[in-house]
């Protein structure tokens, strides 16, 4: 097994996630794309953990999983709140912060 | 052994990439969530291939168990149409394709330049779960505490944001 095969798979997933964040309008779909990005990062961390024979990478991956769970919880409650106030979760319609 | 690992890697990687592309292109929010399950399960399988069984089990429990239920509830509560929905993409969604391709080209060049054909250590020391727990409750104890406060704050924040008053 090459080191690069895991890193390039993670790069592909990361780029698909970035595309999703750019292209999607629905708030829930944007959060799903962010999950793809976080998973790509985890794959990298664990590949490096095996390459270096060190437990640090797996520890970081566990931290990332916990932070991602918190992020999804808060993110979805924000989407829910936006939906309740605006009756839409289309991110194009949220322009109050535009200068 | 190594050939079997490589075949397994290729199959899982292909499934993951197809699933990820479906997540960002499908026109049905619920289908997107279910394709995300495919990607997350594939990631867990790759972790097993990389001898990280504890992280793999955590991935299955937290992502496929908890996060996916959150997504389905979010879909349900926000009237994202159950079924096809043509309004999921931005008007300028095509801009995402060159950005993603350029990003991937930059990363692929950097990765091939730095790691080339370096192989994983085949007889290296496998990291076991005991070492991970020694790390978490040893040098990473303070970040672990901070993380538990982050989770507590997130739970309270989610309740405060989402409750009706």
| pLDDT digits 0-9 by tens, B129-162 | 999 999 999 999 999 999 999 999 999 998 898 8
Helix axes A27-52, A56-86, angle to 10 degrees: 180
pLDDT given at position B133: 93
State whether B143 and B78 are in the same domain. no
Please tell me whether residues B7 and B62 are part of one structural domain.
yes
Residue ending a domain, choose from B83, B115, B142: B83
Rounded CA-CA distance A46/A6 in Å is 9
**Residue B20 distance to chain A (closest CA, Å):** 7
B106 and chain A in contact, CB less than 8 A: no
Collect the ranges in chain B with pLDDT lower than 70: 1, 79-85, 123-124, 165
- A46 and B47 in contact by Cβ < 8 A? yes
* Assigned domain for B120 exists: no
Could you give the CA distance from residue B110 to residue A11 in angstroms, rounded to a whole number? 11
Strand partners, A90: A26
Q: Is residue B123 in some structural domain?
A: no
Residue B119 is assigned to a structural domain of this protein = no
Global pTM value: 0.91
Of the candidates A7, A72, A17, A84, the one whose C-alpha atom is nearest the C-alpha of residue B64 is A72
Q: Give yes or no for B157 touching A (CB within 8 A).
A: yes
**B62–A65 C-beta distance less than 8 A:** yes
Q: What is the pLDDT of residue B164?
A: 75
Instruction: Note the pLDDT of residue B91.
Output: 79
Tell me, yes or no, whether B36 lies in a domain: yes
Domain annotation covers residue B88: no
pLDDT at residue B16, rounded to an integer? 96
Residues A70 and A40 sit within 8 Å (Cβ to Cβ): no
Of A78, A66, A32, A38, residue with least CA distance to B152: A66
Range of the domain at B138: 128-165
User: Domain ends where: B58, B83, B108?
Assistant: B83
Chain B, residues 116-135, CB within 8 A of chain A, namely 116-122, 124-125, 127, 131-132, 134-135
- The backbone torsions φ and ψ at residue B128, rounded to the nearest 5 degrees and listed phi first, read -105, 170
Query: Residue B72 falls within a domain, yes or no?
Result: yes
- The single-letter DSSP state of residue A89 is -
Q: What is the mean pLDDT of residues A19-27?
A: 90
Q: Do A62 and B33 touch (CB under 8 A)?
A: no
Q: Measured between alpha carbons, how far is B89 from B14 in angstroms, rounded to an integer?
A: 25
pLDDT > 90: percent of chain A: 59
> Could you say which of B13, B55, B74 has the minimum Cβ distance to residue A79?
B74
pLDDT of residue B144: 94
- Whether the CB-CB separation of A33 and B23 falls below 8 Å is answered with yes
In a domain, B55, yes or no: yes
> Residue B62 sits in a domain of what CATH number?
1.20.120.1200
Which pLDDT value is given to residue B1? 57
Q: For residue B111, list chain A residues with Cβ-Cβ distance below 8 A.
A: 4, 7-8, 11
Distance between CA B143 and CA A79 in Å, rounded?
28
Rounded Cα distance, B38 and B14, in Å: 11
Q: How many domains does chain B have?
A: 2
Q: Could you report the per-residue pLDDT of A38-69, keeping only the tens digit for each?
A: 999 999 999 999 988 889 999 999 999 999 99
Which chain A residue shows the shortest CA-CA distance from B91? A23
Whether pLDDT at A72 is above 80: yes
Model confidence at A81, pLDDT cuts 50, 70, 90, reads: confident
**How confident is the model at residue A33, as a pLDDT?**
94
* Complex-level ipTM: 0.90
> In this structure, are B4 and B60 located in the same domain?
yes
CA distances from A23 to A20, A97, B21, B92, B126 (A): 5, 20, 12, 7, 40
* Same domain, yes or no: B138 and B77: no
Coil, helix or strand for A24?
strand
Measure Cα distances from B161 to A59, A80, B158 in Å: 31, 9, 5
| Angle value at C-alpha B154, between B148 and B159, nearest 5 degrees | 135
What lies within 8 Å, CB to CB, of B118 at 6+ separation is: A2, A3, A4, A51
Q: Higher pLDDT residue, A88 or B115?
A: B115
CA angle, residues B21, B14, B9, in degrees to nearest 5: 140
* B34 part of a folded domain: yes
């Amino acid at each position: 097994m090459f080191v690069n095969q895991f890193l390039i798979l993670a790069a592909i997933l990361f780029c698909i996630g970035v595309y999703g964040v750019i292209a999607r309008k629905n708030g829930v779909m944007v959060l799903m794309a962010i999950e793809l990005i976080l998973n790509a990062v985890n794959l990298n961390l664990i590949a490096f953990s095996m390459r270096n024979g060190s437990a640090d990478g797996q520890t970081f991956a566990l931290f990332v999983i916990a932070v991602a769970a918190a992020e999804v919880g808060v993110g979805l409650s924000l989407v829910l709140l936006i939906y309740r106030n605006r009756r839409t979760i289309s991110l194009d319609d949220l322009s109050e912060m535009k200068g | 052994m190594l050939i079997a690992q490589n075949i397994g890697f290729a199959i899982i990687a292909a499934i993951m990439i197809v699933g990820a592309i479906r997540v960002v292109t499908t026109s049905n929010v619920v289908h997107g969530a279910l394709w995300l399950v495919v990607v997350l399960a594939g990631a867990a399988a790759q972790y097993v291939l990389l001898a990280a069984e504890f992280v793999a089990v955590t991935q299955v429990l937290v992502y496929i168990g908890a996060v996916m239920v959150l997504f389905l509830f979010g879909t349900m509560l926000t009237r994202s149409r159950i079924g096809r929905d043509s309004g999921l993409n931005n008007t300028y969604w095509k801009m995402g394709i060159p950005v993603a391709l350029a990003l991937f080209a930059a990363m692929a060049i950097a990765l091939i330049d730095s790691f080339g054909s370096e192989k994983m250590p085949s007889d290296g020391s496998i990291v076991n779960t005991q070492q991970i727990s020694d790390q978490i409750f040893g040098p990473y104890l303070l970040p672990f505490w901070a993380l538990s406060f982050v989770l507590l704050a997130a739970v309270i924040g989610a309740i405060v944001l989402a409750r009706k008053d």
